[in-house]
Chain A
Amino acid sequence: MREHLVISVSGKGGVGKTTLSALLTRAVVEKTKRSLLVVDADPVMNLPRAIGVEVNSTVGKVATTLRKDIDEGSVPAAATKQDILEAEVFESLIEDDRFDFLAMGRTEGEGCYCYVNRLLTQILDTLTRNYEVTLMDMSAGLEHLSRRTDRNVDVLVVVIDPSRAAYEAAIRIRDLAKEVHIDFKQVVVVGNRFPDGMEEEVRSMLEEQGLTLLGMIPNDDSLSRLNYLGKPVFDLDTDSPAYVAVESLAEKLGLLDEATMLKLLGQA
């Protein structure tokens, strides 16, 4: 199998994680022939609409059903649950011509999910190895770090908007990643909707914290309008400022060409 790159997008709530994930998806789809898996790891699930897919099943739903079957004793006694779950997760995968999409959703009910989650981790690790690029839109909280959902992520992108809270969340994410020993190859920051001319100021502020500013996404009225109407980012004009900016971010993230990607993965 070929090299694969896993990128996860995180940050405080409302800073534009889903927008960035959606625009990156579009950049990979339109600029490359790479196989792409898009994962919505945020139970709120805004990403499907932003990239124009319809979700019928989620990993969480599948896991909850399995847990319920276990409770009711309806799983065949001699069958192995790993195989059942693996197939059901694969069935939840939306196979689009342009990319595959998986919604994590959430599990419901109390019960113990230690084992089911362990199975899911293995199943998802196996799945991501089949794509050249995996893009994960994370939830706003930090649980995904402490649960080590991101442990195979190569590049962690933290989105910030012009608010102190977003900046502080970025610092916390960096620290927590270290604490739980997730060894990202890179942690980069993307600024969203900052006023013009703030880039250098933001960059040096982040550098003092040892964080790299990858770039900025400018305020874009056409994108806001689209968002409000619930239309996918594929409807956005190619020359819209936000999309142009994200294309350049995608380039820097190694999403668009092999050489940058290998360099990122430390294999150049």
Chain B
Amino acid sequence: MSFEDIPVDVGVVYEGERVRGKDMYVELGGPKMEKKFELALAREEGEVEDEKVMIIGPDLKDMEEGSFHPFGIFIEVAGSQIEPDLEGVIERRIHEYVNFVEGMMHLNQRYDIWIRLNKKSFQKGFDTLEHLGKVLIRLFKSEMNIIEKIQITFITDPDEIASRYDEAVARYNARDERARGLSDADVDTFYGCSLCQSFAPTHVCTITPQRYANCGAISWFDGRAAARVDPKGPLYSIPKGDTIDEFTGEYTGVNQAYAEKSLGKVTSVALYSAFDKPHTSCGCFEAIAFVIPEVDGLGVVHRDYKGETVNGLPFSSMADSTAGGRQIPGFHGIAVEYMRSPRFLQVDGGWDRIVWVPDTIKERVYDFIPESVRDKIPTEKDVSSIDELKAFLRENNHPVAERWVEVEEEEALPAVVGAAEDYVAVPGEFTAALPGVGGGIEIIFKNAKIFAERVIIKRIGKGDKKK
């Protein structure tokens, strides 16, 4: 690939180059312009004239030094393997490639693009968008073989931008819609994040299209972008491997990543359960799904919720039992965004198993709660104790209430613990301190299953302590 006919250098070394205000020749797009966009579209063979560059509106040489202009970059590609699903990936490369040009800066994406050209490059002869078009076309064709034909239109005419703007926005929205609909089955790579391994050494965050990182900050798309830029960084790709169970979210690749990153402490994970082989929890999770044994359901509380939850415990107390990179059945760190996923705790019954959420969370995710159960889930405004919760769930025919009846009939046991066995077993690890032995001893149960018909806790007398 040669750029000899381009008056400035082109190369990776210029990535990260910023054009300062006082060195700037022109600014295209950016915060001063209301409307700007970049858009890539997949077209049919016949619709694209290969390597054509069009400029609608004034070119760089027609612009005054230090001026600001609206801007649009419109890229049309064709090829036998080109599909609309790739538009986002192609469009994202514009950012990278424009930044390869010496003296050019490209920031942000979509309707927020911000481009600057510096005076030096302009004076060297980079005075037409033709040059930029040629650079982009060559880079696209050499780095993405699937692109057989490509044509680029630069728009600086405000009316033309205004007339195409709404269509661009509609395309972005449609793409986001598709992204929300993207399922784990659609991809062959997940992403892992070890940013909080300093807090929780055995924690591995698995980020899939349908499971956001626990912190709520990192989507599958963020993972993909980061792993591409810095594959050895804290965000890395996890090949999905074989699907062991699509419903529970068990994949050989995820298990392998866990085994490696947790140094063998965690080897098997079901992404969509809070009880059975659950995903580990760091210290940064946005919310906790916590078991309420008395009603055989799960409550969810988020970090910003200051009061006590329906079980009398605030977020902070439960966070201590949840955090640390362990697999703790019934105490499960999650992102609020995960509550918008169609696979949200689906193994445990999904929203049908959720029996309490803070009001603010309910508002935030309201549209994603299935209508059948939406009004059956109480918040702190409805109930403030387990007894009130029970009554509310029964009155409103919450799906968990049906489970109580089954249990009561089958086992004729009081509906305390024991409804579902899943949270009685405590695999993982916990430590206990023995009173009266002067300290220094730690007992660790690994993968223990403890069953007790009855647990009696008694206060012991002072004399006993000295033994």
Binding site for B on A (CB under 8 A): 1, 35, 67, 70-73, 76-84, 86-87, 90-91, 95, 97, 100, 109-112, 114-116, 118, 126-127, 129-130
Chain A residues within 8 Å of B31, by CB? 91
Among A71, A77, A91, A97, the residue within 8 A (CB) of B176 is A77
Q: In the assembled complex, how far is the CB of residue B390 from the closest CB belonging to chain A, in whole angstroms?
A: 31
A87 to B107, CA, bound (A): 6
B215 at the interface (CB under 8 A from A): yes
User: Is the CB–CB distance between A35 and B109 below 8 Å?
Assistant: no
Given A72-B364, A100-B20, A118-B234, are A78 and B216 neighbors across the interface (CB < 8 Å)?
no
Chain B, 162-207, CB within 8 A of any chain A CB: 172, 175-180, 193, 195-196
Among A1, A72, A112, the residue within 8 A (CB) of B284 is A112
Q: In the assembled complex, how far is the CB of residue B464 from the closest CB belonging to chain A, in whole angstroms?
A: 42
B112 at the interface (CB under 8 A from A): yes
B336 at the interface (CB under 8 A from A): yes
Q: In the assembled complex, how far is the CB of residue B73 from the closest CB belonging to chain A, in whole angstroms?
A: 15
From A75, which residue of chain B is reached at the shortest CB distance? B219
Chain A residues within 8 Å of B336, by CB? 71, 73
User: Is the CB–CB distance between A78 and B88 below 8 Å?
Assistant: yes
A82 to B178, CA, bound (A): 21
Q: In the assembled complex, how far is the CB of residue B306 from the closest CB belonging to chain A, in whole angstroms?
A: 10
Interface size, B (range): 35 or more
From B88, which residue of chain A is reached at the shortest CB distance? A78
B213 at the interface (CB under 8 A from A): yes
User: Is the CB–CB distance between A83 and B195 below 8 Å?
Assistant: no
User: Is the CB–CB distance between A35 and B215 below 8 Å?
Assistant: no
A111 to B177, CA, bound (A): 26
Q: In the assembled complex, how far is the CB of residue A124 from the closest CB belonging to chain B, in whole angstroms?
A: 11
Q: In the assembled complex, how far is the CB of residue A177 from the closest CB belonging to chain B, in whole angstroms?
A: 19
User: Is the CB–CB distance between A76 and B225 below 8 Å?
Assistant: no
Q: In the assembled complex, how far is the CB of residue A182 from the closest CB belonging to chain B, in whole angstroms?
A: 16
User: Is the CB–CB distance between B112 and A82 below 8 Å?
Assistant: no
User: Is the CB–CB distance between A1 and B364 below 8 Å?
Assistant: no
A62 to B88, CA, bound (A): 25
User: Is the CB–CB distance between B112 and A76 below 8 Å?
Assistant: no
User: Is the CB–CB distance between B176 and A76 below 8 Å?
Assistant: yes
Chain B, 18-33, CB within 8 A of any chain A CB: 18, 20-22, 31
Binding site for A on B (CB under 8 A): 13, 16-18, 20-22, 31, 88, 92, 95, 107-110, 112, 114, 172, 175-180, 193, 195-196, 213, 215-219, 221-222, 225-226, 234, 284-286, 303-304, 336-337, 340, 364-365
User: Is the CB–CB distance between B225 and A111 below 8 Å?
Assistant: no
User: Is the CB–CB distance between A95 and B88 below 8 Å?
Assistant: no
A170 to B247, CA, bound (A): 58
Given A111-B216, A126-B16, are A73 and B109 neighbors across the interface (CB < 8 Å)?
no
User: Is the CB–CB distance between A83 and B107 below 8 Å?
Assistant: yes
User: Is the CB–CB distance between A78 and B303 below 8 Å?
Assistant: no
From A79, which residue of chain B is reached at the shortest CB distance? B109
Chain A residues within 8 Å of B18, by CB? 90, 126-127, 130
A130 to B108, CA, bound (A): 18
Chain A residues within 8 Å of B22, by CB? 95, 97
A204 to B337, CA, bound (A): 59
User: Is the CB–CB distance between A79 and B110 below 8 Å?
Assistant: yes
User: Is the CB–CB distance between B108 and A116 below 8 Å?
Assistant: no
Among B175, B195, B365, the residue within 8 A (CB) of A78 is B175
A77 to B177, CA, bound (A): 8
Among A35, A82, A86, A87, the residue within 8 A (CB) of B222 is A82
A100 to B195, CA, bound (A): 31
User: Is the CB–CB distance between A84 and B172 below 8 Å?
Assistant: no
A188 to B244, CA, bound (A): 59
From A125, which residue of chain B is reached at the shortest CB distance? B16
A130 to B22, CA, bound (A): 13
